[in-house]
Each structure stands twice: as structure tokens, then as C-alpha cells.
Amino acid sequence: MTYAIQKGIGLLMVAFLVNTLNARIKAQTGPYLNNRYPLKEKPYMELPLGSIRAKGWLHEMLIRQKNGATGRLDELYPEVMGKRNGWLGGDGDQWERGPYWIDGLLPLAYILDDQELKNKVKPWVEWAIKSQKADGYFGPDKDYAPEAGLQRDNSHDWWPKMVMLKVLQQYYSATQDKRVITLFERYFNYQLKMLREKPLGHWTFWAEYRAADNLQAVYWLYNITGESSLLDLGKLLHKQGIQYTEMFEERKVLTSTAGIHCVNLAQGIKEPVVYYQQDPDPRYLNAVKQGFADIRHFNGQPQGMYGGDELLHGNNPTQGSELCSAVEMMYSLEKMLEITGDIGFADHLERIAFNALPTQITDDFMARQYFQQANQIHVQKRQYNFNINHGETDLVFGLLTGYPCCTSNMHQGWPKFTQNLWYATPGMGIAALVYAPSELKVLAGASKTEVTVSEDTFYPFDETVRFRIAMKEKSVTFPFHMRIPSWCTNAEIRINGQLWNGEKKAGTVAIINRGWSNGDSITLTLPMKVATSTWYENAVSVERGPLVYALDIPARWEKKLTGDGNRRFGEFYYEVHPQGAWNYGIPDFGEKDPATIFSVEKRSRTDRSFPWNSRNAPVTIRVKGKQIPNWQQYNGMAGPQPHSNIYGYTLSKDKPETQLTLIPYGCSTLRISEFPILSK
């Protein structure tokens, strides 16, 4: 072999090694954290906490959280969230509830930039960091005797630590406090050693089902430090956790009743997608898709959730859906969207956020339902056909009614939704994948110029989203990504008033890569047509854009005291009593265009700062219907759902046709959201 050939081969080898090295560090060259080799590069990257501010109705929602239970839970629930909590060094509650609260309070504090809330967060963060021992363990480390209303055992359980890892990740994102990195490094070394002796299921089974929360934190640290042993820990966590991939492929669990706990499902459904970053086999993504399809078919409800009260319980619209499931499913969808860029996850996220979440918590954010029903005609203290019963309080509104996990965990829903409205892209661009009024500060373009983007919209009630770009530089080139929802077939984009003719198909991302100048505007129009979907017993739900619409049943709220015998369910609760008929069906409209059957009316004289109740519902849909005489109340619920098909219920000749008013599901309390279809 000649010297020239040897030299050529050597240069090729050097070039290969340089390219490989560049590929490995590529994710770390920008200001935002992407996956480090060999993890699969993500199409979207989470932005630092505080980069995204809420505006409009979303800001009002966060303010109500601050003034309500989220900002005051230490006062309202002092026996658990007070100084005795084990995560503050006390002898009280040692398990999940304290970390749950801070997992929502911390992002709320930094998104609002509220010093009062930050001061409430700080003792929890400081104690957690300072609790770390020489071997890497952190958190409460002593069990105590039972005490009513507290969880004082299993202090060493892996599961509560997973929630606190999420808290500390967010704290680092907002503050860059390097102590978090040190804690993670030492704790994950501890886990790698101890999990072989005391696996995830050693203390309780919860950690096995929720290992994805631990796994995503391990990858987060790996992307910062590049420590290879973290990938060994990732494999171990995946191996010791519940094998969701096999579960979804085999299909038995999601196609049967009581196969899995509803919150475990909401948290665990992301595990195959999270692990896919380390083992990019399409099998993991396909399994999750199959899982969602089976949830929809066998357990799904129109608000984006599923019958799970507390175990999976089918798709009857009177089965309950737990509040913890809603906020945890939202978090799972947010993480899966970031990893895959799959628009279906964004569509599903909006469906839960705009329908299931606002209806299950009172306007003042001081009371919530443990379970909600898709067809909910009466909210009473009584035992329902759920597969669990907590003192007959599972459906009523209260601070501690049902089970107090939701009292602790509901707070993460809106703050994390806000945090995931916007993402960075690998090409130093920005992406608006979920829509709500907000403002973004981000570094964009090759020059890493600070850019501010204001998003002005009344979405999801209105069809128009307006973006305005502000910067000090004269011009900066970067890609701007915008999601086109799967339900929207005729989206329109205008830049500074001029029509943009690029690709904007339903269910895709429109990407505009150009030089942007200070004052540039983008107007995204997403026409919302009325559509219907089919559910339990062939009933239909009415939809417009991301919103499901429900019959507005007049209601009377009644506050009641629990009495001394039931104080563990709080001092009070609310029942909600119907003040009008609810048992309506909709005549079969066959192949007719829904626009000829349903009429959309926009109400101008409502409080747009807080649209989430029946009084302020900004949009209504009118449709004619008829009562079904033998569809009556049973055990406080809508009785067995009349079946809808060609051989189903016929129109009652003796019942007059009635004009029905439907309001957004999220604005309702008592409702019918799945309507029987009446054949002629």
C-alpha cells in the first residue's frame, strides 16, 4: 500500500471520527437541551421555565390557582402540607402528597414570577437537596406509626422520589441551581447500586407502574453530563418497570374491565415512548398507538379521558374519570409530543385540557371532583356504580372529597400546559404546537437572537391565532413551526397580511423558514366545523374544533357540611341538583351536512377573561331534540343509555320537538355529552 493511499485512508478515518463526534455533541451546541448521542434526537425541545408567560383567559386561570387551593394548600390542608410533612423533615406525611403539590406550585410560581409562591416552594426544595446522604439517598428516611389521614410509612419507596425529581428538574430549569445536578448524579448512582437489591416493586407496586417519571429524569441528566452509566440505569428502570409495550401489544388489559389502575395508565402510557429514545425501535411507538386505540374503543369518553373509577371501567358515560388521570395524561402527552413530534398527541392534549380539566375544578379553584362523568345529570353524596367508594363522596365537589391524592396533584395541569405551548427546534427555530394566549421569549436563529413572540387569541373558542414578533435585530432567519390540528381541513396562514401558500394539511406542522423582522405578524386561521363522533351504544357527541359540546342542564348548587363522622373528607362539600330536563335524544340526520342541523352562535356579552362556566360560555350550538320518556334517572345517574341505530329508539309522536342549547363541555357541570340518536 502506497503512502498516498495510507494517508488518504487516514484522512477519511479522521473525517469519520470528527463527523461522529460532531453528531454526538450536536444536540448540545444550541442553548436548549436536546438528546445527547446515542439517544435519539428529539424534534422539539422544552424551553426554560419562565420563558413562556400566560395571557388572557389562561393567565386568569393561573391567577385563580394562586388565589385558590394551589397557592393556599398549606393553610387549607395543614395536616399534610404543613410543617409536619416528611419532605420538610417532619414526622407527618412521608409519601407522595407533598411532592405532588410542589410539582404544580413550583411551575405556577415561576410562570407567574410570583415571589410569594416562590417563597412557599423554597423550603421544600432546600430540604430535599440538603436531605441527601453520603450514599446518594435523599428524602424522608424514617417510617412512623399509623395516623388517620396521613401516609407515614414507606418513606424509602422509590415512587415519591420520582415526583420530587420532576420538581427539581423544573427548579433547575428556572434557576440553573447546580446543586440539583449534584443531587441527581449521586442519587442515580445510588439507584444503580440499590435497585438490584431492592427493585422498583420492593416497597410498593406504584413505582413499577410509574417508572417512566424516573426514566425521563435519568435521560435529562444524561443530556447534561453525558455520563454513560446513566444509560445502564435507563435499561434497568425499563426492565424493572411494568412492561407496557407487551401489555399494549397483547391488548388484554385495555380491552377488559378492571385491568389497570386509571392513574397508573395515564402515567405509564408514555413509558414505551420515553424508552424509545434509548432503543429507537418503532415497536414502542406502535404499541402506544395501539394502546390509545383500545382505550378509545373500549373505555373512551368524548372529553378525551376514559372510564376509570379507580380501575379501568369501560366506556359507559356514567363511569367516573379521575382528576389525577386527567393531569397525568396531559403530562404524558406533553412528553410524548416533545419526543416524537406526533401531532395526534397535541390534539389529544388540547381535548383533555379544554374539556375534562376545567369542568372538574370549581371556578375559584377551591374544590374539585374526584370523578367526573361524561353524562352527569346529578351530583350527590351517595354510592354510585364505581369500583371504589370513599364515604359516598366520590362525585361531589370538595377539597378532600373522594380521595385526597387529587387535592394534591391537580395543580400541575394548567402550569405544565402553559410550559408546553411552545418548543424550540433543532434548527434554532420555534414551534407553536398547542394554542392558548401567551408570550414567549426565546433565542432563535444562528445568531441566537432574543426574540419575543406574542400569541393573541381566544382559542379554543375562536378560530384565529395571531402572532407578533419583536426583536432588536433588524432581521433574523429561523423556522417557525405551527401545528395544523387533525380536525382542521382548510387552515389559512397570512404573513403581514399576505397569504402564505406553503404546506398546511390537517394533522401536520406548517414550517415557515424565512428572515423575520421586528413587527412581523402571522395570522393563523383554523376554521372550526361542527362534527359528530360515535361513542357508547352508538350515541353521538357534538364537536367543534377541539371542544366537545354538551347539553346545558340548569343547576342548583348546595353546600353541605360533612359532619364530625366524615372529617377525613373535608369540612364541606357541594351537591349539584338539576333544575330542568336532561333525557333528550337527537333525531337522526343521516347523511346531511351537520351545518344544516346544528347552528353555531357566538355570545358577545360574556366575560372573556374567564369563559369556563355556563354563564360565560362564549359559544353555543343549537339543535332540535326530543325527550325519551323511558330514559330515566337510575341511582342518581342517567339510566341505561338508549341504543342508537336503525333498530333503536323511534321518535316519540307525543313529545314535541325542543330547541336544545349545547355549551362547551368544559363550561358545564351537569350535562349530557353523549346523545342517543332517534330514528324516524
78-129 per-position pLDDT tens digit:
999 999 999 999 999 999 999 999 999 999 999 999 999 999 999 999 999 9
Strands 321-322 and 371-372 come out as antiparallel
Tell me which residue of 220, 219, 270 sits closest to 242, measured CA to CA: 270
pLDDT for the residue 180: 98
**pLDDT band with cut points at 50, 70 and 90 for residue 14:** very low
pLDDT for the residue 66: 98
- Is 304 a residue whose pLDDT tops 70? yes
Spatial separation of the C-alpha atoms in residues 56 and 611, rounded to whole Å: 10
Give the tens place of pLDDT for each residue, 200-224. Answer: 999 999 999 999 999 999 999 999 9
pLDDT for the residue 653: 67
Mean per-residue pLDDT, 461-478: 97
pLDDT for the residue 165: 98
The dihedrals phi and psi of 395, each to the nearest 5 degrees, come to: -105, -20
Q: Which amino acid is at 136?
A: G
- Is 246 a residue whose pLDDT tops 70? yes
Tell me which residue of 437, 450, 212 sits closest to 334, measured CA to CA: 212
Q: Which helix (H) or strand (E) holds 212?
A: helix 211-225
CB 421 within 8 A of CB 436: yes
Mean per-residue pLDDT, 354-381: 98
Q: Which amino acid is at 455?
A: E
Give the tens place of pLDDT for each residue, 570-611. Answer: 999 999 999 999 999 999 988 888 888 999 999 988 999 999
Distances (CA, A) of 477 to 294, 428, 448, 518, 669: 43, 9, 10, 12, 47
DSSP-H helix ranges across 383-465: 405-409, 413-419
pLDDT for the residue 449: 97
Strands 475-484 and 430-432 come out as parallel
Mean per-residue pLDDT, 477-498: 98
- Is 561 a residue whose pLDDT tops 70? yes
Q: Which single residue is written with the C-alpha cell 373505555?
A: 299
Give the tens place of pLDDT for each residue, 219-239. Answer: 999 999 999 999 999 999 999
Spatial separation of the C-alpha atoms in residues 133 and 137, rounded to whole Å: 5
- Is 517 a residue whose pLDDT tops 80? yes
Spatial separation of the C-alpha atoms in residues 578 and 580, rounded to whole Å: 6
Q: Which helix (H) or strand (E) holds 442?
A: strand 438-444
Residues 6+ apart with CB under 8 A from 331: 267, 412, 416
In our burial notation (b when 16+ CB lie closer than 10 A, e otherwise), range 496-510 reads: eeeebeeebeebebb
Other CB atoms within 10 Å distance of the CB of residue 591:
4
Helices H, strands E: what count in the chain?
Answer: 20, 27
Percent of the chain at pLDDT > 70 equals 94
Tell me the pLDDT of the chain averaged across its residues. Answer: 94
Percent of the chain at pLDDT > 90 equals 91
CB 181 within 8 A of CB 225: yes
CB 662 within 8 A of CB 552: yes
Mean per-residue pLDDT, 351-371: 98
pLDDT for the residue 533: 97
CB 247 within 8 A of CB 208: no
CB 479 within 8 A of CB 470: no
Spatial separation of the C-alpha atoms in residues 608 and 201, rounded to whole Å: 48
Show the CA angle centred on residue 311, arms to residues 310 and 312, nearest 5°: 120
Give the tens place of pLDDT for each residue, 24-65. Answer: 444 454 789 999 999 999 999 999 999 999 999 999 999 999
CB 509 within 8 A of CB 481: yes
Mean per-residue pLDDT, 307-318: 98
Spatial separation of the C-alpha atoms in residues 10 and 560, rounded to whole Å: 82
Q: Return the DSSP state at 311.
A: B
- Is 21 a residue whose pLDDT tops 50? no
Spatial separation of the C-alpha atoms in residues 101 and 358, rounded to whole Å: 18
Tell me which residue of 589, 465, 604 sits closest to 531, measured CA to CA: 589
pLDDT for the residue 652: 63
Spatial separation of the C-alpha atoms in residues 470 and 449, rounded to whole Å: 11
pLDDT for the residue 270: 98
Cell of residue 141, nine digits: 428516611
Mean per-residue pLDDT, 149-156: 97
**pLDDT band with cut points at 50, 70 and 90 for residue 23:** very low
Cell of residue 127, nine digits: 430540604
Q: What is the DSSP string of 506-549?
A: TTEEEEEEEEEETT-EEEEE----EEEEE-GGG-EEEEETTEEE
Residues 6+ apart with CB under 8 A from 101: 70, 73, 81, 408, 409, 411
The answer to whether the predicted template modeling score (pTM) of the entire model surpasses 0.85 is yes
Helix %, strand %, coil % for the chain, to 5?
40, 20, 40
Give the tens place of pLDDT for each residue, 623-673. Answer: 999 999 999 999 999 999 999 976 655 666 667 899 999 999 999 999 999
Tell me which residue of 23, 170, 152 sits closest to 104, measured CA to CA: 170
- Of 351 and 590, the one with more pLDDT: 351
Residues 6+ apart with CB under 8 A from 474: 517, 518
**pLDDT band with cut points at 50, 70 and 90 for residue 17:** very low
Tell me which residue of 588, 569, 595 sits closest to 650, measured CA to CA: 588
pLDDT for the residue 22: 43
